[in-house]
Amino acid sequence: MFGANYVDGQWIDGSSAVPDINPSDLDDVVGEFARADRTQAEDAISAATAAQPHWAALPGAARAEILDRAGDELLARADELGDLLSREEGKTLPEGVGEIRRAGQILKFHAGEAVRNPGELLGSVRPGVEILVDREPVGVVTVITPWNFPIAIPAWKIAPALAHGNAVVFKPADLVPASAWHLVDVLVRAGLPAGVLNLVMGSGREIGDTLTGDVRVNAVSFTGSTVTGQRVRESAHSHGARVQLEMGGKNPLVIADDADLDAAVAGAIEGSFGSTGQRCTASSRLIVVDSIHDEFVDRLAAARARIVVGDARHGDTTMGPVADASQLEQDRRYIDLARSQGADVVGGELLDRATPGHYLSPALLIGTRNEDTVNREEVFGPVASVIRVADLDEAISAANDTEFGLTAGIYTRSLAASTRFRKQSTAGMVMVNLPTAGVDYHVPFGGRRASSFGPREQGRDARDFYTSTKTCYVLGDPTS
């Protein structure tokens, strides 16, 4: 397929094109996709600026219908588009289909939000005066997304932006344009007026500053690495745009001495190696209390050995390939570094399969310390460290000893231990007897410190970023 950019209601070629390569089979080209240059990015901002007031003036119900229709189509095409997502990004077929379904659910949830008036009517300290606290659209929103959730993350930014009457300029990750292209295609065919949603695929290094630094852009919602996030923040703040950043994680999963070990092992495997470990919410630090450490590690290593690494779309595969060559290189660099800092490495080898791909066996780094580099920096691959601690106190302090703060989990049978962990954790999301990854779409999502900046994403809280508050004082009838 050839995927064009979409600007002001027209599908247009870019200034160049990029092949989308299947990480399970490097000989398989998923398609060619347009790359926008700065001029096209500026045209997209112009189109969004012109279209936004008309879009905002529509009744919420009209915006809701479009989002709902698009959500229906994604749900109906989940198998087909899930296969495409697995082919371009490398997550397994069930994960790919699940992500398309999630995107459909997100669109339908925010269709509901478009008709729910989030304003408030209050009395005043002055007789006869009523106060209306209204929520208005912010205006033009730039949406920039990473490669690891190529449709769910775009959906959870674009849907609330549109629901609340904003116009969007969307730049997906250069690595995974196909899923993003289909999301835009589905929304456009569902009835979006020209200019309301614009797709500019292309390199963030080339067009990122234009998309974030243009004075006509009122808000920027970004998910990606911490380093790029800081740059986006500076560029947007330079002209007073509001910014929402979701960035890295180094999420701890504590295994307490009274944990159900079968459940803890299953949770650690899913949290660490689900989606090939390429999740900001991955359980990358397994913090294990001394008394059960050896038994847990033995069982974990046995479960790791049962993971079937292979072509993402094959039925027996339980972990797909790494997304691209540079991510694979990064994973291997951290594995080597951990080994040189004293870790006992299980797995982490390159694998040959029937087709050329970025295949890496899941790696367990046993005997690491929380201060090791691999436990301070995000790897973003199928690499999990094990950290031995004396007791729950030390576990909680190690869990919180990180510059990140996205999600944190504990496996325990004790209500007291889980309550303590829940209250003392400094992460933005806490899981009890669940992996650190795996979230719902109708509740707030986000972290603290280096993981997140700005209002929460998802659920009803999404409106805090995509709306601007107006407080109106009205003296209608002085006698009432």
Picking from 375, 227, 362, the residue whose alpha carbon sits closest to that of residue 300 is 362
Neighbouring C-beta atoms of residue 311, cutoff 10 Å:
25
* Catalytic-residue membership of 280: yes
Q: How far is the CB of 119 from ligand NDP (least distance, A)?
A: 28
Q: Which amino acid, 94?
A: P
* Catalytic-residue membership of 472: no
- Give burial (CB, 10 Å; 0-12/13-18/19+) of 269: buried
Please tell me which residue in 95, 246, 270, 457 is annotated as part of the active site: 246
Q: In the structure, how many helices (H) and strands (E) does the chain have?
A: 15, 21
Please tell me which residue in 88, 99, 113, 280 is annotated as part of the active site: 280
257/324 with CB nearer ligand NDP: 324
The helix or strand, by DSSP H or E, that contains position 254, with its residue range, turns out to be strand 251-255
Residue 102 — φ and ψ, nearest 5°?
-60, -40
90/204 with CB nearer ligand NDP: 204
Tokens, residue 435? 């992996």
Rounded to 5 degrees, what angle do the CA atoms 425, 427, 432 make? 60
246 to 19, 157, 222, 229, 232: CA distances (angstroms):
27, 11, 6, 8, 11
269/450 with CB nearer ligand NDP: 450
Q: How far is the CB of 194 from ligand NDP (least distance, A)?
A: 24
> How many angstroms separate the CA atoms of 157 and 383, rounded?
28
Q: Which amino acid, 18?
A: V
Q: Do 410 and 417 touch, CB atoms closer than 8 A?
A: yes
What residues line the site for ligand NDP (CB under 6 A)?
144-149, 171, 173-175, 203-205, 208-209, 212, 223-225, 228, 231-232, 246-249, 280, 378, 380, 406, 451
Distance of CA 467 to the CA centre of its chain: 21
* 25-35: strand order across its sheet: 2-3, 25-35, 16-22
Neighbouring C-beta atoms of residue 336, cutoff 10 Å:
12
Tokens, residue 301? 């290593």
55/465 with CB nearer ligand NDP: 465
118/455 with CB nearer ligand NDP: 455
Q: How far is the CB of 469 from ligand NDP (least distance, A)?
A: 25
Q: Which residues are catalytic?
A: 246, 280
